[in-house]
Structure 1
Amino acid sequence: MARMLCQICGGPTPGTNGKRTLFLVGADGGRPIQEAEPTASPPVHAACARLAVDHCPSLRRRWSAALVSRTPVWGVAGLLYHPRTLTEVPRPDGGLHRVPFTDQERLPWILASRLMVTLQDVTPVLDLDDLTDDIVGAAAAAP
């Protein structure tokens, strides 16, 4: 995530050159990616996103994609431990705890497994077939 490499092929994405980057996530209920939404999902190339939607079971049902201009670091996702008992704090959904870097109370007690970023300057993508890596990598508009 820190190097903005494609989650499918591992190659550098356009965001590594200061351009827009494509993000693809599983979408519960078809909810689009929101402005300032934190994510642990790395970016993807346009061609890799189409492959992922066709072959990944969790994306075949519902997915959401967006072109993103900026991705500041937000925090980490991982296993959270209780400070007194040192036992793992379970989540009701069985997933990873998400802890922002501003949470100084929980941050020392998380075993991070994923870096998370905030998605900013988000442009929703409704049809992956309309995208090429040239479109994805187009320079972000100046603020």
Structure 2
Amino acid sequence: SVTLWISFLSIGISTIAGLGFGIIMTSKNKLIVWMSRIYLETIRIVPQLVLLFLFYFGLARGFNINISGELAAIIVFSLWGTAEMGDLVRGAITSLPKHQFDSGLALGLNKRSLYRYVIIPQVLRRLLPQAINLVTRMIKTSSLVILIGVVEVN
């Protein structure tokens, strides 16, 4: 039940943060896109177990910050989930044909209405299967928390 609690809390945080991160990744600003790619690739390259060890053991030794195993797991899985969800959102947004945006603007919709009535419904349809896959991976990966001393108590 502890790993499930960690999973669902991390999923909630990373879903909200990932939606924002995915929108940021579609920015026209090259610096923002470059920085977000560095974050995304760094989180993707480093295995979750290494991230757990870095946050749990590394913070204690390197900075004299003692955090619980549960908090370290929530931070790591939220960072990982945010990166993954952000990339899924970016992919869903960029997979829409450009004429969807142009047509909405030509009809006189402002940006907010365009996203609310045209873009977001289509993005959600494309995003849902991939998001379910990510949630499943996060729940399965949460079993790694036992390696940093988080005990499953009934």
TM-score (norm 2): 0.28
Work out which structure has the larger RCO, using CA pairs closer than 8 Å and 6 or more positions apart in sequence.
2
Q: Which has the higher helix share?
A: 2
Q: Higher strand share goes to which structure?
A: 1
Which structure's CA Rg is the greater one?
2
